Structures are given as C-alpha cells and as structure tokens.
A and B are shown apart, each in its own frame.
Chain A
C-alpha cells in the first residue's frame, strides 16, 4: 500500500462529454507523482450531506499535479460532482489500490474497454506509449451501447495505437459486443504472445476473464465496487476469489489477475 494523501484541490477544468458523461480535472493533487495506471482516488463531494467519498478511476495525471477523472452520472453523488464549477474545492484521497503491471517487450497488448470503464485503460495506454512501448503493439478494443458511449475517440487514436471501436447498435465501428472482434483478433494472432487488460461492466469483465482462461492468455481486470473507505479498513467491497476466501476491491484490487476472482 502506498501512503495516500488527503488534500484539497481545485477544479480547474470541466468538460461535458454529452450523454451524462463528464471529464473533470483537479489541481494540485499532492500525490500525482505516485500515481500509476489502475490506481483510483476517493473524492469528497463538497457542500452536501453525501456521507462517503466517491471512488473514481484515474483518466490522466500530469507530473505537475493535474488529475483527471471521467465518469457517468448514475446517482446523486455523481450528479453533484457533475454540477461542480471551476474553482470549487474537492478533497482527494489517493492514490489507492493496485495498478496494472507492465507488459513484456515482445507482447501484444489487448485492451478490452467497456463504456465508462475506459479511463484507466486510456491512462495505461498513454503511459505505455510515453515509456516507448511500441504503440503498434497496443490493440484498444472499446465497446459501448451506441456512438455517444464511445468517449475520447480522437484522444485515444492520437496515441497511434490500433483502435477498434465496437457499438451494440452499430452506430460507430463494428456492430455487436467486444468479445467477437477480440476473439477474432486472438485467432488471427495465434503465434503472438498476448496480454489482456480489461475494465468495464461486469458482463464484459466476465467475458474477458473467460477469453483469457479459454485461450490461456494472462492479463488483468480492473473491478468496480461501491466502497465506503477505499483504504482496506471497512471490508465493504469484497469479492469472492476462485481459490476461496475474499479480497477487498479497494486494497488487493481494483486490478486483479485473470482467473483470480469469481465474477
């Protein structure tokens, strides 16, 4: 566990990504330099009676302390976050949890992102490219219900990686679920060493987990869970492990190995 900080930061940028999706950037996040892709933060919503912080995955971090989250308005907490204005103060606790491990140089990176599960994977791909990992070895499969659910398209494409958008209604990219094009890719690249990284709705994580097990491809899944504390002390966000017993999504996770968790 990295020692997290809990300090106030200002909202410096808010972007309405349409369809109830928002990108919010805060500054300065004290522990920006400690963040790794996969880590998350806990945001305390100001000026409300909302009791607990809200956990958010990290979409980007700059070395001078900008931290960005991208989220979908799903309830009262996220609605209040979306209503924050420039210069509002938010207390940020983090970085928290486990992070993605780096692929080996000769591996092809298969990213399976679903809906609003894409931010930590975009952060991961960005950092890989920054670290000189060849962008052409990164394959970013991004599924959503419709065209408006595939966010930050140009930003992801700009990384120079292989981008495969998929929508259930076929309004953008290939029509259907992400699993089909992912399996097709795996079959076409039988001889390559692959590694999966996935984050998204439970159904998609289950599929990514099954694909990993079926084709014997190692990889990691980032899970989501409602969590009161985020630092491993309340035991409220447990998942069942395949080997038996529980793990805390906030402490042992949110990043787990394929085959580790009962989904």
Chain B
C-alpha cells in the first residue's frame, strides 16, 4: 500500500505535512521557479504588516555554528501591495496558502487580517505574535498571556478561517502562552519562532548584525524546538506545526513523534531551495519501510523513559 502523506489541521487538508516557514520563502515567487509549489503541503508567506517595511539596514544576517542569526526587521511589501501584487500569484498555486501576519499594535493585526478575510484562497492566517525584531511590539504580545489571548480573539472576529498562533521560545513557559492562545480561540500552534541571540566580531568588537540581536534559526535550535513541541503537545489539545532546524525527513519524523501534525522548513531552504521535494520522497520511503499508512500513526508517538 502507498503511504498517505496527507494531514488535516483545523479542517484544512494538506497534501503532505511539509510547509515552508515564514520569512524563508518570500511570497513563493522564487521557489516556484525552482520546484512546483504543489509539492508543498502549504506555503507560509513572509510576515505581512499594515504598512510596507524596508527592514533593518545591512548586515542583517550572520552565519553561526549550525545556524544563522537574522534581524531582517519584517521587511515586506505591506498589505496593499500584497493584495494587488502577490495574492494573484499565490491564488494560482496548487498548494494551501498560509499568510503570516505581524504588527506592532493590535489594531494593525486586526486591519490586515480583516483585509485577508476577503481572499478565499488564503486558507489560514499564522499570527506572528513572537517576532523578536520589532522593538515596539511583536515580542510583548507573545510573551504576555493576556495579550496573546486578546490578540487571537480579536483576529478571530475579523477572519473567518483558521488562525494559527506562532509561539515564541523566548518565554518562561511556552505552555502558559499556548494555553492563553487556545483560550483566545486559536485553531493551531506553530512551535517555535527563532531564539533571540547575538554574535560579535572579535577584530572590530562590533556586533555582527545592525540590530545587535536577532533570531537564531537552523539546526542549532532543533533540540529546543522538539522539546517545546512535545511540552505543548502534552498540555494542550490543538494541532501543532513544528518548526526549528529541519534539514531532512529524519528531522521531520522527530517533530511528528514529539506531537507535530505538520512541519515548516525554514533556514535549510537557503542551502537547498528544493529541499521539501527531497524530504517528501524520503518521508514516503521511511513510511514504506516502517509499514505506516498515514502520518497520524507517527504523531505524538515518542517513547519516553
């Protein structure tokens, strides 16, 4: 029997559990040149804000041990241009579309999500309440249970399809924030966003990125992400999309076993832009070898001591 890779999250069906992570695939245009986006379970766009943002000046990325630091600063075209220039392209893609939304004030999130509600092909919204790069907001939303609950419940009032809360690892208890998001009416979690970090050039004594601190991503954060996925899975009931350092099907399987229903591939796309295609093949082969019929048979099945 052919293994079935399809998964379902909050009533949305995905051809496979492999998605691209926000901020690692733009609006899909570049990757579409490299491989058909129908190979993805979903494409998650770069964070969209109310107004266009240029982001931070260069340098805004730095290579680190087994990963990278970035403080792009939510550079994006803004909701107006996203609607006119990017949605027509995304509507043509044979994959599910998840739009990541960010802002510095709750009113901005609400306005952007209300605009997106008009576009049926925007299957889900992923709320970036955990971006570490915007001083005036972002982080505080995701670090405070009350603000998390409120922001999600307000967005749910204006967006009629499922809303995913993207959780920050930079908190004392990710489970507490996850519960608040659940209380606010979230339909799923993305776990985790980047870890805050920095890097310094010892010749010039200068920080390596202009924002001085940034989000650490890549394989360096995978063990942290796996543990947090499992912690949220154990204490909450919503489906989880696992994120953090995925580079292969083996990594994907670890996330599924920890409780993720789907995963997002991010930083690894910068090295191998068609990696989702390889992962899908490897995942199928693994399921055949283990005689698994569906992804469900893996979700949360980690055996613990």
Q: Which residues of A contact B (CB under 8 A)?
A: 1-4, 6, 44, 49-53, 93, 225-226, 228-229, 231-240, 245-246, 251
Q: Which residues of B contact A (CB under 8 A)?
A: 24-26, 30-31, 33-34, 54-55, 57-61, 63-68, 70, 72, 75, 218, 267, 269-274
User: Are B271 and A236 in contact, with the CB atoms below 8 A?
Assistant: no
A–B complex contacts, Cβ < 8 Å, 25 sampled: A1-B30, A4-B34, A6-B272, A6-B273, A44-B271, A51-B65, A51-B66, A51-B68, A52-B63, A93-B273, A228-B61, A228-B270, A232-B26, A232-B30, A233-B25, A233-B30, A234-B61, A234-B70, A234-B72, A236-B61, A237-B58, A238-B55, A238-B75, A246-B55, A246-B75
B interface secondary structure, majority: loop
User: Are A49 and B58 in contact, with the CB atoms below 8 A?
Assistant: no
Bound-complex Cα distance A226 to B67 (A): 15
Please name all residues of chain B whose beta carbon is closer than 8 Å to the beta carbon of A2 when the two chains form the complex: 33
Closest to B66 in A: A51
Shortest distance from the beta carbon of B86 to any chain A beta carbon, whole Å: 14
A interface secondary structure, majority: loop
Known: A6-B272, A236-B61. A52 touches B68 (CB 8 A): yes
**A246 interface neighbour in B54, B63, B274, Cβ under 8 Å:** B54
Known: A51-B64, A53-B271, A233-B269. A226 touches B34 (CB 8 A): no
Bound-complex Cα distance A240 to B63 (A): 22
**A52 interface neighbour in B25, B31, B270, Cβ under 8 Å:** B270
Shortest distance from the beta carbon of A31 to any chain B beta carbon, whole Å: 12
User: Are A233 and B270 in contact, with the CB atoms below 8 A?
Assistant: yes
Shortest distance from the beta carbon of B295 to any chain A beta carbon, whole Å: 26
Knowing that A51-B66, A51-B67 touch, tell me 18 more A-B residue pairs with CB under 8 angstroms: A2-B33, A6-B274, A52-B270, A225-B58, A226-B61, A226-B63, A228-B61, A228-B63, A228-B267, A229-B271, A232-B30, A233-B269, A233-B270, A235-B72, A236-B59, A236-B61, A236-B70, A246-B54
